[in-house]
Structure 1
């Protein structure tokens, strides 16, 4: 069974065809070149055809079948625009309250575009938002205090349903003067002797520590915080490294110091970003429409407020003792 081709991926493909290069498309639509390349590779894999001829240092050109598919892709994108136009003419059909729960570490990045953008698109919707850790938000969902929760697949339960949207692999976060800052990748063994700053919130804490257990490594935890921005500030100020999954677009702590992301080599479990609803509960039109927005706006090529995730080949392992 084929997996879906998203609207975003089609947009990246069309932009590349029109620009004649991935770099040109990147500059035109303000999306990173690796994200555009990944989208094109995904579409080629799904359709089983080659869309572009790659010319070394001279951009790309559409194949014969690529030219036909780019025409169809433009038609599909135009039709999707028409769908939004029709929906905008019937805004009064999507009205009422929407109570969204979001993990505190995700909220500053996800909610401006995903949640409040929904409110701008549907002015008849009354939005309220709650932040907290995974356990707090699931408790609020069960108590009917929120309708839907944006979170990770940190814990399963018979009464909730998790809808995955994108994988977020772990990476190492260091300050710009840290000994690991100039490496392209590190292993868990490389981290063992370095001081660590741990994001200490329920479920997330267990996930981070499980990465060390699986590698047979004991982390040297020197500081903890339940606030991601405090973690980033401590890392930027040289207290230690940390491991994270979210990738804020800004590589600065709130006090203006630079942060470096280093790939974590090896085969590590990614966190899956998604939304949670209660099982066997009929979703209101407002909630189901918001859930559809989440599915359309979030993918592994594009996550609102974040840099796109980077997936590491587990067979390419570099250590502190090896080549940077």
Structure 2
């Protein structure tokens, strides 16, 4: 016997008001954004709480609202439902199967300069009705965003990925050594890490990249002499370009020149070094929106894994202006 589905006891309008309150942090702020009275917003949230039988937020006078654990759990689901409702409305308006709605994309900050441009341009070309925004952050912040439903998908490294995260592989790459021009090992195609162990090292101090670097060093049986710690990829490259040390990086910009125009030398690592997978990830806790599913179909097609004569994996990217490489 077929089961008859029951209509929910809450409304999409109540979900919209709740999400707006959560995003603005205050009842008043939500009311201003929705162009309705604060009392109407407060009443809708209270009715939603009553319908669900849980407290979603704590109201503190002069301090706005704070979501409870139940509120945090509902927020991502509510956003996904509102996205789906918007897509249903677009179909009803005659758009047919065109994908619309919003997509919030996160990207690990050192991957962003080389991965985001081809991803965003290709996806915009294939799905022009989707409104895409992005944020750059570290690995933990990206996974927090996925868990809270603030991000639909995120591009990150396959390092310390949390349980409850779904993913697909975009491409693979390998760490490389970065040397200043004129370094004594400049003529060597593949450098042994122990040959650099006594020299000053410039660390990209951004988890999980930093932990991965030290894991490689432990496998090679060396302890790097850390002279500087930098939070940004280009800062590391600039310090190496100035001759202040050597470094080991995963991402390689197209140009081997620093912002100052100084040359840096990229050399392969002779020691056994594992490949690093770059993933597109999303939370299993929140059903992906139609836009997120479309992005997951597009993203792998942007990157094509190839190999060079030195066995370094690169991600080839086809763009409007010809072929570029995310290395």
TM value normalised by structure 1: 0.64
Q: Summarize deviations over 1:71-92 as a string: whole Å, max 9, x none.
A: xxxxxxxxxxxxxxxxxxx786
Query: Which of 145, 148, 164 is equivalent to 2:150?
Result: 145
CA RMSD of aligned residues (A): 1.8
Residues 236-245 or 120-129, more deviating = 120-129
User: Secondary structure of 1:249's match?
Assistant: coil
Q: Which residue does the alignment assign to 1:255?
A: 260
User: Larger strand proportion, structure 1 or 2?
Assistant: 2
Q: Which residue does the alignment assign to 2:185?
A: 180
- Shift of the 114–294 alpha-carbon distance from structure 1 to 2, 3 Å rule, reads same
Q: Which consecutive unaligned segments of at least 5 residues does structure 1 have? A: 1-89, 310-324
User: How far apart are the structure 2 equivalents of 1:207 and 1:214?
Assistant: 11
User: Secondary structure of 1:299's match?
Assistant: strand
1:103 and 2:137 matched: no
Matches within 5 A, 1:148-167: 148-167=153-172
Q: Summarize deviations over 1:96-133 as a string: whole Å, max 9, x none.
A: 10100001101111111112331243221111101011
User: Secondary structure of 2:304's match?
Assistant: coil
Q: Which residue does the alignment assign to 2:305?
A: 300
User: How far apart are the structure 2 equivalents of 1:162 and 1:125?
Assistant: 21
The number of residues matched between the two structures is: 220
TM-superposed CA distance for 1:306, in Å, is 6.5
TM-superposed CA distance for 1:162, in Å, is 2.7
Say whether the 8 Å CA contact 1:162–1:276 is kept in structure 2: yes
- Shift of the 189–119 alpha-carbon distance from structure 1 to 2, 3 Å rule, reads same
- Shift of the 249–227 alpha-carbon distance from structure 1 to 2, 3 Å rule, reads same
Q: Summarize deviations over 1:197-225 as a string: whole Å, max 9, x none.
A: 00001211100011111111010110011
User: How far apart are the structure 2 equivalents of 1:158 and 1:99?
Assistant: 21
TM value normalised by structure 2: 0.64
Residues 178-187 or 300-309, more deviating = 300-309
TM-superposed CA distance for 1:177, in Å, is 1.7
